């Protein structure tokens, strides 16, 4: 059987684009060993973390190698199985890569999906990694409480939009930072934010945040780092929690680490707690979190958007567009 794949062909310096990938067709052997499953991918996820995955910079996962299938979280259908816990026809989620088919042994990241609960694509977004990240960051690390003020950067994105809704469900005042006037409107009208700012057109972002949160920000959900975070830190309240979820605003960490305003004094004088979050560290807590997310979804309390691009061959361009902020909602590829 032929298996279409997208592989990393050259290593990018900064933002990856179509020029760094190439298409190939590989022979697929469907004679499985004991314990293996064969998955036909249906949806592929496009995520900001992919920039780190293709870089040689130190990261929480080893870099994708040249000529290796691009790493990606996917949803697909099992077309053959020699694993006792998985059957042909099951819908599953896992790191299966930018390819039509994947043969693998299930690991802790692989899980079954109930296709009757919601569209299966949601398992890559609101009812998957994006929802889990939003839920676990706010509840496990941020320990948000009612009446606190929460600020979220990339507030209209796949993670940010879910985080904003969870914070509102928990009774918080929620402020969002996003990159267009349309997304500002989306944050307020669709996702329930109390306030949102277009960081690209706001003349003095630090001052604008101070006006919206005169008593300070209690929880900062930081998806960007960089200059955006520089405007937030002076506005953090005493004993605030700054949760580093992404660094999308920093184009490259090499050859030199980019510098900005020093945050040490804020951390010291305000007794801040600064924590980093990587989802793979919290897999044991995923089932309970997913159950709560599903309950909110079925009750109509959780909304999400998807930006679906057709065709495996369009995955590299979709990744480049993600960093330009072209998408509205979770970016997916449908094969």
> What residue segments make up the domains of the chain, in order of their start?
2-125+305-334, 129-280
How far apart, in Å, are the Cα atoms of 32 and each of 28, 87, 95, 108?
Answer: 11, 13, 18, 20
- Residue partners of 264: CB distance under 8 A and separation at least 6: none
- Residue partners of 197: CB distance under 8 A and separation at least 6: 175, 176, 177, 178, 184, 205, 208, 209, 212
Select from 5, 47, 20, 17 the least CA-distant residue to 331: 47
pLDDT of residue 318: 95
Alpha carbons 187 and 130: distance in angstroms, whole number: 16
**Average model confidence (pLDDT) across the chain:** 94
Q: How confident is the model at residue 253 (pLDDT cuts 50, 70, 90)?
A: low
Question: Of 248 and 137, which is predicted with more confidence?
Answer: 137
**pLDDT exceeds cutoff 80 at 252:** no
Average of per-residue pLDDT across 57-64: 87
The pTM of the full predicted model, rounded to 2 decimals, is: 0.88
The region, left, alpha or beta by phi > 0 then psi within -120 to 50, assigned to residue 79 is: alpha
**pLDDT exceeds cutoff 80 at 254:** no
Q: Which CATH superfamily is domain 129-280 in?
A: NAD(P)-binding Rossmann-like Domain (3.40.50.720)
Q: Which CATH superfamily is domain 2-125+305-334 in?
A: Medium-chain alcohol dehydrogenases, catalytic domain (3.90.180.10)
**pLDDT exceeds cutoff 80 at 255:** no
Average of per-residue pLDDT across 190-197: 97
Query: What's the pLDDT tens digit per position in 73-115?
Result: 999 999 999 999 999 999 999 999 999 999 999 988 899 999 9
Other CB atoms within 10 A of residue 324 CB: 9
* Residue 287, φ and ψ in degrees, nearest 5: -55, -45
Query: What's the pLDDT tens digit per position in 140-151?
Result: 999 999 999 999
Q: How confident is the model at residue 48 (pLDDT cuts 50, 70, 90)?
A: confident
pLDDT of residue 15: 86
DSSP-assigned beta bridge partners for residue 37? 81, 104
Query: What's the pLDDT tens digit per position in 256-291?
Result: 777 788 899 999 999 999 999 999 899 889 999 999
pLDDT of residue 251: 67
**pLDDT exceeds cutoff 80 at 186:** yes
């Amino acid at each position: 059987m032929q298996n279409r794949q997208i592989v990393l062909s050259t290593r990018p310096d900064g933002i990856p684009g179509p020029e760094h990938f190439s298409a190939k067709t590989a022979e697929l052997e469907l004679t499985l060993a004991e314990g293996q499953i064969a998955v036909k991918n249906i949806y592929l996820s496009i995520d900001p973390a992919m920039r780190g995955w293709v870089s040689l910079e130190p990261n929480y996962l080893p870099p994708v190698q040249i000529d290796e299938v691009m790493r990606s979280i996917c949803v697909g259908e099992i077309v053959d199985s020699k694993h006792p816990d998985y059957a042909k026809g099951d819908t599953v989620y896992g790191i299966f890569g930018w390819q039509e088919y994947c043969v693998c042994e299930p690991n802790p990241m692989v899980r079954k999906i109930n296709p009757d609960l919601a569209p299966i694509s949601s398992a890559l977004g609101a009812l998957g990694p994006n929802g889990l990240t939003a839920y676990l960051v706010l509840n496990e690390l941020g320990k948000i409480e009612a009446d606190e003020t929460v600020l979220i950067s990339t507030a209209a994105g796949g993670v940010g939009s879910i985080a904003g809704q969870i914070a509102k469900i928990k009774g918080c005042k929620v402020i969002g930072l996003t990159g267009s006037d349309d997304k500002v409107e989306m944050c307020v009208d669709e996702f329930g934010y109390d306030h949102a700012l277009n960081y690209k057109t706001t003349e003095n972002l630090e001052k604008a945040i101070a006006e919206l949160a005169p008593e300070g920000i209690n929880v900062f959900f930081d998806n960007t780092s960089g200059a955006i975070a520089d405007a937030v830190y002076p506005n953090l309240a005493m004993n605030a929690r700054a949760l580093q979820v992404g660094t999308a605003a920093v184009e490259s960490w090499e050859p030199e680490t980019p510098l900005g305003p020093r945050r040490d004094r804020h951390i010291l004088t305000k007794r801040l707690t600064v924590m980093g979050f990587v989802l793979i560290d919290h897999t044991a807590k995923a089932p309970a979190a997913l159950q709560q997310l599903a309950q909110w979804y079925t009750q109509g309390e959780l909304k999400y958007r998807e930006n679906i691009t057709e065709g495996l061959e369009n995955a590299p361009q979709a990744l480049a567009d993600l960093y330009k902020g072209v998408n509205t909602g979770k970016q997916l590829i449908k094969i």
